Amino acid sequence: MKLFAPAMTLSLLLLLSNTVNAQKDKPTAQEVSKAKTLKEKYEDEDVVISDKKTEITFSRNSRTNKVEVREEITTTFFSIASRADIGYSTGYDNESSIETLNLTDKRNKRIAWNINDEATLLSLFSITITVSNMQNSPFHYKAI
């Protein structure tokens, strides 16, 4: 019986912390209002791009003596539906590579997602990112 009380207390604390943690992802009143306004404007869409930044840098590779181009794209998507599934594809050729892909939520916390690389199926390589269940909140996609 001595072990029961601490175990029960620990279980309750874990349950409460998970409940509080789950509450953090709820959209704010501002985000819900913004989603409703955007949904009126874009009736057929579930997700819109609210910001996109592309940065391109050039450098010379001293080993190959070739100019290398680095493109960094940061895109902020905003879900305007109560639940949205999206797919995002990007393409590259046989001389290019994708070094990193990051997906974060509005608190800059990493989001788990699936990569489907269709390189064996297509002559132009592509990666599709699928994100599910975004609820009226922004999330960020960054490819380098």
**Digit-coded pLDDT (tens) for 20-64:** 444 456 788 888 888 889 999 999 988 888 888 888 999 998 998
Higher pLDDT, 56 or 139: 56
Q: pTM here?
A: 0.60
**What is the residue extent of each domain of the chain?**
27-143
Burial of 35 by CB count in 10 Å (0-12 exposed, 13-18 middle, 19+ buried)? buried
Contact yes or no for 103/131 (Cβ under 8 A) = yes
Which of 2-6, 52-56, 123-127 is modeled with the greatest confidence? 52-56
User: How much is the average pLDDT of 82-90?
Assistant: 71
| Domain 27-143 fold | Immunoglobulin-like (2.60.40)
pLDDT of residue 32: 84
On whether the CB atoms of residues 140 and 104 are closer than 8 A, the answer is yes
Mean model confidence pLDDT for the chain: 69
Task: Compute the average pLDDT of residues 93-121.
Answer: 70
CA angle 109, 110, 111 (to 5 degrees): 115
Mean pLDDT of 91-119: 72
Predicted pLDDT of residue 120: 44
pLDDT of residue 62: 92
